[in-house]
Amino acid sequence: MGVSEAVAAAHPNIALIKYWGDRDHALRIPANGSISLTLGGLKTQTRVGFDPELKQDRLTINQAPGEATARQRVTEHLDLIRVMAGIQFGAIVDSETDFPIGAGLASSAAAFAALTLAGCAAAGLELGRSELSALARRGSGSAARSIFGGFVELVAGDDDSATFAKPLATAEHWPIVDLIVLTDPMPKPISSTAGHSRAETSPLQAARVSDAPRRLQACREAVLARDFGRLAEVVEQDSDMLHAVMMTSKPALHYWQPGSLAVMAEVRTLRAQGIAACYTVDAGPNVHCLCLPETEPSLRQGLARLPFDLRILRAVPGPGAWLV
């Protein structure tokens, strides 16, 4: 038997209602449900080749050897696929990402969605999208959502097989634009994996989790009705609640930088002037500024006024992970 390989690609996603903290850390079963937008415009493409000659996996990320922690995380994920497929040898994994990785831009979501799809195809496993989503979640919680395109909801189920994402609305449903403002493209000092395990140390986490069904419902309704004002309100509140938990964890996590605060303030000012725009920030300093195609020029003008050297990436609703 020779090498069997497959190539898959996936977009990252931005959580509109965010997941933070796990009910089961090892299985990455989230403490609360989440809703995201799959980000067409940014992409990870991954080749997986299972090779009977290999005892260990070999990983390259953007043409450089993967570091030990990344290698271990990839091997643990491939182990799940190997057990399901009855494979006992290693794989060559080559991954290429066209946006900054480890900077709080959900690179792990795109990476583990692509790895799951390519790994299963290379192993000859034929899984449905829900099963792929649950499996991708084991690699990175947010990767469960990148299996699908458009607006996606990850339901916090009771166990492993019940915790997968499902589509809420297609990519064509609402042409939201995400201007991702890179206030600091350096790798973030604390990974989300480490952050999730600190969530419970904040006295605010219980309130954030118990209020999640209300925010999820408001977000679902806003997306389905294409009501930007309602979306803006709940998305910013959810992001601020997440950062309140992070800042009050032990030890505390502070991801916002001066540039992040300036961008958020500018977005609030623009919205007060009637411009459809809102912000959301993941586990990093970069700010996702959501707007509509018609308000993108005003948002860009506002951001250009800020006295910071900001790089902006652009994303629009994109498809779920696909085989190349």
Binding site for ligand DP6 (CB under 6 A): 15, 18-20, 28, 34, 106, 108-109, 140-142, 192-193, 196, 282-283
Give yes or no for a contact between 153 and 33, defined as CB atoms under 8 angstroms apart.
yes
Given the complex with ligand DP6, which of 140 and 202 has the nearer CB atom? 140
Cα Rg, the chain, nearest whole Å: 19
Closest contact distance (angstroms) between CB of 118 and ligand DP6 is: 18
Closest contact distance (angstroms) between CB of 189 and ligand DP6 is: 15
Given the complex with ligand DP6, which of 93 and 165 has the nearer CB atom? 165
Given the complex with ligand DP6, which of 6 and 165 has the nearer CB atom? 165
Given the complex with ligand DP6, which of 3 and 190 has the nearer CB atom? 190
Closest contact distance (angstroms) between CB of 23 and ligand DP6 is: 13
Given the complex with ligand DP6, which of 48 and 103 has the nearer CB atom? 103
Given the complex with ligand DP6, which of 38 and 45 has the nearer CB atom? 38
Question: Distance between CA 111 and CA 100 in Å, rounded?
Answer: 12
Give yes or no for a contact between 269 and 246, defined as CB atoms under 8 angstroms apart.
no
Closest contact distance (angstroms) between CB of 134 and ligand DP6 is: 13
Given the complex with ligand DP6, which of 116 and 142 has the nearer CB atom? 142
Question: Distance between CA 228 and CA 36 in Å, rounded?
Answer: 15
Cis peptide before 251, with omega less than 30 degrees from 0?
A: yes
